[in-house]
Structure 1
Amino acid sequence: MSAAASALAGPSLSPETPHGDLLATLGSDDVPPEPPIRSVLFGPARFEEHGHSLATTHEVEPSGDATAAFFPRLQDNMDTLRRVRALLEQQSREGLHLGPAGHWLLDNANLLEEQLQKVRLSLPRNFFRLLPRLRDEPLAGLPRIYGVAWAWVAHTDSGLDLPLLHTYLGAYQRSRALTMAELWALPGTLRVVLLENLRRLAERTALLQLARDAAHQWLDTPDEQRQLTVLDAQFERLTQRGVADAFLLQLQQREDDLDAESARSLRAWLSLRLPEGVAVQARLQSQATEDHQSIRNAITTLRALDKVDWRRLFADTCAAMQVMAACPVHAAEREDCQDDTL
């Protein structure tokens, strides 16, 4: 395993690690994972409208705050992704089914680990402090360009469509110009928001897998040790984490593996907690498909960001750059000198 992959793997988890402890490794054990950054998909017309409206609602505080935290969730997001990686690797070694989303996370470990360094290189702290910050919730205190990037990720399902991004940035800046520092911070900030989204998706993927594993664990317990009181405790814990439905469905799907008496007891227990199993299964399958697509999109976008001609994109959407481009002296400079001037 490469050094990057080893780093992403995080702490080792033995097969004997108690199930409750595995839940705790993914963060707080009494709250569900945060929902993905995913909303209604926008086309050109909607992004044109949204760019204008977002610009008018973004109120900022002065830049230059030396005490401003550098994307306070970034390191925590990376730590969570590493813990999920470790868990999925353990489950893969045990031959458990991970699903497409889990495999995408495992297969792209190196790429995810590289993002932290890329963010820090593209957004050094002295540059980060130049960015105007949002005044109002829900993103108060974070750079305004973070709000711009967040809306983009939400309404593209973590995708990257350059003509659409051109439309969005142009519309935003016709209402309120972004600073040059903000524009050049956009690629790194997109990485930060994509990592935030991947953390949410990865955490939910892992928790759902743990819920199914808990069901298998109970079903595979010897008959004389299998108790419904254990199910009650597991159900309560997994309900707190927002993944109890996956636990219940897995129990239902394997109830025929039990002897007749145990199966009857389990069906009676499930009837009180899973009255509409077909509808729940359809919802979870739809969610899994959407989450898999979001993970694919986010990882594909992270790969594509390095190939974008950001200078050209900004020149086409920034009025200040267009004015400078019309200046013969500026136009005669080398591109690196032009960037320094801007």
Structure 2
Amino acid sequence: MQATPSGASEQANPDAGIRPDELARRLAQIHTLDKRPKHKAILLQHLKNWETTLRAAYAVFRGKSSKDLAFSRAGEWMLDNFYVVEQTLRLVEEELPEGYYGELPKLEGTALKGYPRIFALAWEWVGYSQDQIDLTQTIAFVLEYQQVAPLKIGELWALPNMLRIGLLERLPPAAAETHTGGAP
């Protein structure tokens, strides 16, 4: 079975003592591109699965009374912001069609084998930045990566959507844990 992003590896943590420029260079050095022309759109399939999980969690939260939701900040957040999640999912689907996705260079030899290189870069950045994406820092991170391994123009165009996916990827586990009785 193919590794999923959420289980692929430990993402870099700023508390681990590595600077963003060091992380970018290290990633550029270890990212090896797969020479095979086409891959399944694994990431797009995961996106559909996450959407299903999020819709199910939203339905559960909508069915709870205000009293039941009082203990759950995650439930309240989901009810207040689900429209943003829906808009983001639609935007990614529109701006990242399967044909375009298929043209993005994919990785080999890592836990994210078969995933687009730009997704791996975005996913690591989302983890490193602890979900706090700052435009200036993101640009600096990508520029540092490109000092070692230049990205294709299509990858740069895909970066905003890959960052969105990296953030969306964190929601289903939290939503599932919350609506099944896990931590608030």
TM-score (norm 1): 0.47
Residue pairs, 1:193-342, within 5 angstroms: 193-207=166-180, 210=181, 243=182
CA–CA distance in structure 2, aligned partners of residues 202 and 39 of structure 1: 23
How much has 1:70 moved relative to structure 2?
Answer: 5.2
Q: Percent identity?
A: 32
Partner of 2:147: 174
Secondary structure (helix, strand or coil) at the match of 1:91 reads coil
On the 8 A contact 2:104/2:155 being kept in 1, the answer is yes
Equivalent residue in structure 2 for 1:99, among 62, 66, 72: 72
Secondary structure (helix, strand or coil) at the match of 2:169 reads helix
CA–CA distance in structure 2, aligned partners of residues 55 and 74 of structure 1: 25
How much has 1:59 moved relative to structure 2?
Answer: 0.7
Does 2:81 align with 1:108?
yes
Equivalent residue in structure 2 for 1:40, among 13, 22, 28: 13
Secondary structure (helix, strand or coil) at the match of 1:139 reads coil
Partner of 2:3: none
CA–CA distance in structure 1, aligned partners of residues 165 and 144 of structure 2: 23
How much has 1:158 moved relative to structure 2?
Answer: 1.1
CA–CA distance in structure 2, aligned partners of residues 122 and 52 of structure 1: 28
**Distance change >3 Å, CA 63–CA 173, structure 1 → 2:** farther
Does 2:41 align with 1:69?
yes
**Distance change >3 Å, CA 64–CA 98, structure 1 → 2:** farther
Partner of 1:137: 110
How many correspondences in the alignment? 174
CA–CA distance in structure 2, aligned partners of residues 39 and 202 of structure 1: 23
**Distance change >3 Å, CA 140–CA 206, structure 1 → 2:** same
How much has 1:63 moved relative to structure 2?
Answer: 6.4
Deviations 1:103-154 (A, max 9, x none): 1111011111122220122112221111010102311111001100110110
Partner of 2:25: 52
Partner of 1:146: 119
TM-score (norm 2): 0.85
How much has 1:38 moved relative to structure 2?
Answer: 6.7
CA–CA distance in structure 2, aligned partners of residues 193 and 132 of structure 1: 17
Does 2:54 align with 1:81?
yes
How much has 1:79 moved relative to structure 2?
Answer: 0.5
On the 8 A contact 1:63/1:129 being kept in 2, the answer is no
CA–CA distance in structure 1, aligned partners of residues 133 and 65 of structure 2: 31
How much has 1:164 moved relative to structure 2?
Answer: 1.0
Deviations 1:142-180 (A, max 9, x none): 100110011011011111111211221111000000110
On the 8 A contact 1:134/1:143 being kept in 2, the answer is yes
How much has 1:62 moved relative to structure 2?
Answer: 2.9
Q: Which has the larger radius of gyration?
A: 1
On the 8 A contact 2:11/2:124 being kept in 1, the answer is no
RMSD after superposition: 2.4
How much has 1:39 moved relative to structure 2?
Answer: 5.4
